Amino acid sequence: MGSVLERRLDAIYAIGGGPGANRPGYSAAEDEAHRLVTGWMHEAGLEVEVDPNGNLVGRRTGLEPGLPEVWSGSHLDSVPRGGRFDGPLGVLGALEAIDRLGRRRRTLGVVAFRDEERGCAGSHARVARGGLPGAWVELHHEQGPRLALAGAPLGVVTAIVGYKRAERVLEGRAGHAGTTPMDARDDALVRAAAEILRIRDVARGIDGAVATVGCLEVEPGGVNVIPGRVRLTIDARAPDDERLARLLDGLGIDPAGAVPPTSLGGPPADALRAAVAERGLPVVELASGAGHDAGVLARAGVTSAMLFVRAQNAGVSHSPDELSSPEDVALAVDVLTDALDRLASS
């Protein structure tokens, strides 16, 4: 049967139909997931609030309710054909941790933000609305292979990468695929191929940076027509300001409007490190290459930290193959519980 947490993860994963998780932000499937978690919050004896943007907060009022609150959670929406852990692990792990702890000096909150996958809409709306906590701790599937390569079950996240997205258009000259000699062609797709390789090489030359061409639109788009125009997208990311600036400069991308790298740390990170070290585990620190609600809260001034749990299957995420072992997940919830205890008791 598995643990309560495993059964709850299965129940959320089943919503929306397969293959994989299919709960787009503000969809009926995300609504259903929020209703299910609301019921579990009530079962745990939490006071439940839904704000005007649909964000779900379950609170256990502290012994000194005037103190800044301590929150933990994540999101319940998913990408199409997503994984079992991305988002729900953070919400359900926080719910289990706070259920174990009972009342502490500070109010503890479990949060499920809306529509994280399309730009953290729910957490941005909560920041704009106000009423934020004093500290935030987010448990999350790593979505990458670094912890597995390091032989470590858990990692403390020190930063969330900055990023910028851009488009580029390569012009050529359309022509007949059968009657235009090879040395007389100006093929826009060939130009695009060279540019894609250049983008890859620029990112490879900067430690910790990544750049991805995710979409191509080829015109006219006929099987027997030489491409005359190609539009491509670029997603560029780096873990600190200096490397992000170098990456964007090398790619020829205007840095205006880039989302800056976000540092995580302070007492929440210290509490996670202590809880990991007390179990005789290596305290592995790493930056997150993906955006998270924790970054939104940190940029709004909330002292924030994240705990990553080791991914299996070569770190694949946003896929039905996304996987973490029950043992690693249980360990992560134990560490989260201890960290929240330290923060809420201070």
**Secondary structure in 3-state letters for 53-101:** CCCEEEEECCCCCCCCCEEEEEECCCCCCECCCCCHHHHHHHHHHHHHH
According to CATH, the topology of domain 4-161+261-345 is: Aminopeptidase (3.40.630)
Residue 221 has pLDDT above 60, yes or no: yes
State the average pLDDT for the chain.
97
User: Taking the mean position of all CA atoms in its chain, how far away is CA 100?
Assistant: 26
Q: What is the pLDDT of residues 250-293, one digit of tens each?
A: 999 999 999 999 999 999 999 999 999 999 999 999 999 999 99
Confidence of residue 1 (pLDDT cuts 50, 70, 90): very low
In sequence order, which residues have a C-beta less than 8 Å from that of residue 170 and are 6 or more positions away?
Answer: 188, 189, 191, 192, 195, 229, 230, 231, 232
Alpha carbons 46 and 110: distance in angstroms, whole number: 9
pLDDT at 2 over 90: no
β-partners of residue 109 are 59, 71
Domain 162-251 adopts which CATH fold? Alpha-Beta Plaits (3.30.70)
SS3 content of the chain, % helix, strand, coil (to 5): 35, 25, 40
Q: What is the model's pLDDT at position 222?
A: 97
Residue-wise over 108-119: b if at least 16 C-beta within 10 A, else e?
bbbbbbbbbbee
CA 250 and chain centroid, separation: 26
Q: Where in the chain is the domain with CATH 3.40.630.10?
A: 4-161+261-345
* pLDDT score at 339: 98
CA-based radius of gyration for the chain: 22
Range(s) within the chain of domains with CATH label 3.30.70.360: 162-251
pTM: 0.91
